[in-house]
Structures are given as C-alpha cells and as structure tokens.
Amino acid sequence: MIGFIVPVKPKSVSKNWTYENLLLQRTTESICAQTDQSFRLVIVYNDPPEINFEHPNIIFVHYPFPSVLVNDIEDLDYVLKYYSEDYAEKMMDKGKKIHYGCKIAAEAGCTYMMGIDSDDLISNKISAFVNKNAGSNKAGWRIKKGFIYEEGSRILIKQFNMQNINGGTHIIRYDLITIPDFTSNVFWNYNLFEAHGYTYHRIRDFHNELLDDYPSAGLIYVVHKNNYSNILKLTRAITFKNIVKKIIRCKLILGKIRREFNLYKLETIKY
C-alpha cells in the first residue's frame, strides 16, 4: 500500500492562509480520487488545515517538534552551497514533516511513500500502479513525465524531466527511507524527497538500488503566487525558450485530464 505524505507550511510563514487552504483542499481531493482506494494520505501540519473535505483514508498529524531556524541547521555550510538561508529553513521544515509523515504511514501499513507538495496534483492511477507492482519489491519509481499548470490557465505545459524541477516526483520503498531522531537538525537526514534529480542517484549510490521510471504523466506542478520557488517568474518570463516551449509542449485542458488529476479552478470552491 502506498502512503502519500503532504506537509503543510506553518501559518506564520504563509503569504495567504485562506489561499493556501484552497490549494490544499484541491490537492487532498486529487490524492483521494485514486481508482484504487488502498492508500493512506498523511497530512502533517503545525496549524490545523481549514478545508471542507473528509475521507476515511486521511490521517491528520500535528507535527510535534519545534520549527528549526536556519542557524540551528547542523550542516549549514553544506546546505548553503545549494540554498539561500530563507529557502533552506523552509526546506528543512518541509523535509522533517515528510519524514515524520513516512513514519506515521508505515505504522498504518504503507510500504511505499510519496511526498507531495500541498498545492500539486497527482494522477488518480498512481495507487493502482504501485499496489499492482508492490510484490516485485522494486526500490520505487520516479515521475519524469508531467505538466506545469499556471493557476487559471487553459493549457498545460508538458514536462519530460519533472524530477529536476519538483520534489514530489519520487515513490520510494519504506526501508530505503532513513527515519532519524527528529530532535536532530541535520538537513541531509530530511531532504531525500526534496533532492529533486539527485534522489535517484542517492538511492543508487547509498543503497545500490534503482528507481524505475513511472510509465505515464503522474504529476501537475501548480504555479501560483505563493510558490516557495521562483517558478512563477520563470514561467512568465518572455524569452525565446519559453515561447517555443509553450508552442511545442502546450496541451489544452480537457475533461479527461481534469478528471484524472482533479484539476479545477480554485474559484469553483464554495465555502
């Protein structure tokens, strides 16, 4: 059985808490729309999410440890080679919550884990695929194919290396996930799911196992005003590369893909 882990950022760092919850509700509905309902969704939070959606497979978990300030990260010199101080602090929070969620999902009987950002959407076929192949004891899968969706747009942009731009692209067998002492603040211990393209190499180099490629598009990376990363600015930049990409890779959003990923405009949510 697969466990989907969704970390929720603290309310104190949210740019717009109401908007964050709209995104989270859509993500939660997307995950719970799986064609195979043998899964668990663990939502790890500091502040209780304010969403109007219930499902028997959801496990809400309050994260019981304090937030880690950047200067308390034990391997900070290593981290600052790759991240700014602000981004490192946010990724530390996210990584800790994902690993804590993996622990909870394993206790609920899950053998494969997938960390998903609280604003992204996934295919409703993932649970069925993983459960069908779980008996092979594969290390897991990386999702290379997917789409970028700018909130409110009528098109998707096809992506063929999603693992390089989005952290929620790896499904990993639980025994390959190190569950550390959560009082420790070593960034390396918590960034397995957030290592993007390096996750594949990390599993290979440290466990001598290979992640397979998920066979179809598995994720929609949602671009909006509240992303931690600079993705909105990059996708809106008027460059030759972006223009060509939108011409060649664009895909009109039709009913079939809306249903598979539970993609709808946020304005349609009624509170």
Q: Give tens-digit pLDDT for 177-204.
A: 999 999 999 999 999 999 999 999 999 9
How confident is the model at residue 244, as a pLDDT?
55
How confident is the model at residue 251, as a pLDDT?
87
Segment 74-89, tens digit of pLDDT:
999 999 999 999 999 9
Tell me the backbone φ, ψ of residue 222, rounded to 5 degrees.
Answer: -90, 125
In a domain, 148, yes or no: no
In a domain, 208, yes or no: yes
Q: Report whether pLDDT(232) > 50.
A: no
Where residue 15 falls among pLDDT bands split at 50, 70, 90? confident
How confident is the model at residue 226, as a pLDDT?
59
Q: Where residue 77 sits, what CATH number does that domain have?
A: 3.90.550
> Which helix (H) or strand (E) covers residue 260, if one does?
helix 255-261
In a domain, 41, yes or no: yes
Q: Is 145 helix (H, G, I), strand (E, B) or coil?
A: coil
Question: What are the DSSP E strand ranges found in 76-232?
Answer: 112-115, 121-122, 140-142, 146-150, 155-159, 170-173, 212-213, 219-223
In a domain, 117, yes or no: yes
| Structural domain count, the chain | 1
Q: Report whether pLDDT(227) > 90.
A: no
How confident is the model at residue 235, as a pLDDT?
52
pTM for the whole thing?
0.91
CA distances from 158 to 55, 227, 253 (A): 31, 19, 11
In a domain, 43, yes or no: yes
Structural domain harbouring 76? 2-143+167-212
Q: For residue 101, which of 143, 155, 41 has the smallest C-alpha distance?
A: 41
In a domain, 46, yes or no: yes
